[in-house]
Amino acid sequence: MVQTVLFNNEIVSRKEVKIDLEDRGYQFGDGIYEVIGVYNTKTFKMAEHLKRLERSAKELRITLGNILEGLEANLEKLIALNGINDGIVYVQVSRGVAPRAHQFSQLEALPVVIAYTREMERPIEIQEKGVNCLLTEDIRWLRCDVKTLNLLGSVLAKQKAIDNSCYESILHRENVVTEGTATNVFIIKNQIVYTHPADNFILNGITRSTVIDLCKEEGIKVVEEKFDKQQLLQADEGFLTGTFIDIVPINKIEETVLGKGEPGRITEYLQRKFNRLIN
Ligand code: PDD
């Protein structure tokens, strides 16, 4: 089946997309993106994702102009046209096309927008069984709150995890645990849920915020506070959050078994509550 995608403001066949070799997204990673989950044909928290896209643009001084107008409707259209049941819709905005130069001050071109969908199987197995992780030094830049196309620090850390038969690298700066390569990290100690505060060292995940809200609603104490590697390894439970993987329990980090080495009680409780939101 020919895939239908969004290219600037038009819905076209994937073959019709032409990205210029001087697109700044291609040359500099000069752009932003969002990944929005689709569950049973419905997007989850689309408004929050588009708000974060807008914020990322503002932080990088990418002028969106009227790009956001009609974007939501177009993304929904793509999902319907491509018959997506479960999966994701990816949207990316690069600063645009211009003769190669680091500065963007003379740029008159409009940003280049693409979006496409992908049908995916729900990752039920890892949600139910949990995953093993690795600790990896966080070598990313200091604006991890911006969802930019520059992902080399994450790409290398994720590959390291895969090379070591792990699902995810849990990143740390010195001793402080920040987040995963494409996930936020939570631990639970003595029934209190901890996660890194939403500052410049992490991406403030939409799933992360949803889980924090769930904890508050359910009377589970949740603290947005930095924790270190030692606290991570000594946690009773731990889990990762992210779009489409939702909540994935951490069983083991390198040689250290977390809690009982299986999905913990509070983690499973939050998973059940989260599933109600998406279904
Ligand atoms: N990544 N932290 C990082 C560094 C991320 O890249 C992501 C998402 C998250 C989780 O955010 P959210 O809950 O809003 O998906 C945290 C997406 C899925 C990706 O790059 O594919």
pLDDT, residue 108, reads: 75
Residue 57: exposed, middle, or buried by beta-carbon count in 10 A (0-12, 13-18, 19+)? buried
d(CA 123, CA 189): 26
Give the sheet arrangement for strand 31-39, strand by strand.
10-13, 4-7, 112-119, 87-94, 31-39, 42-43
Q: What is the dihedral of CA 187, 45, 60, 71, to 10 degrees?
A: 160
- At the second CATH level, the architecture of 4-119 is 2-Layer Sandwich (3.30)
- What is the reported pTM? 0.98
Block means of pLDDT (10 residues each) for the chain, length 279 residues?
92 97 97 98 98 98 94 98 98 96 84 98 98 98 98 98 98 98 98 98 98 98 98 98 98 97 98 96
183 lines ligand 1 (CB under 6 A): yes
CA of 33 to the centre of ligand 1 (A): 10
User: Cα angle vertex 45, ends 70, 16, to 5°?
Assistant: 45
168 lines ligand 1 (CB under 6 A): no
Asked if 147 is an active-site residue, the reply is yes
Closest ligand 1 atom to Cα of 147: 6
243 lines ligand 1 (CB under 6 A): yes
pLDDT, residue 258, reads: 97
Catalytic: which of 15, 42, 147, 260? 147
pLDDT, residue 276, reads: 97
d(CA 40, CA 279): 7
pLDDT, residue 42, reads: 98
CA of 2 to the centre of ligand 1 (A): 28
Residue spans of the domains in the chain: they are 4-119, 124-278
CA of 186 to the centre of ligand 1 (A): 14
Phi, psi of 120 (to 5 degrees): -140, 150
pLDDT, residue 279, reads: 86
178 lines ligand 1 (CB under 6 A): no
Please tell us whether the domain made up of 124-278 is placed in CATH 3.20.10.10.
yes
Among candidate residues 175, 151, 158, 153, the one with its CA nearest the CA of residue 228: 175
184 lines ligand 1 (CB under 6 A): yes
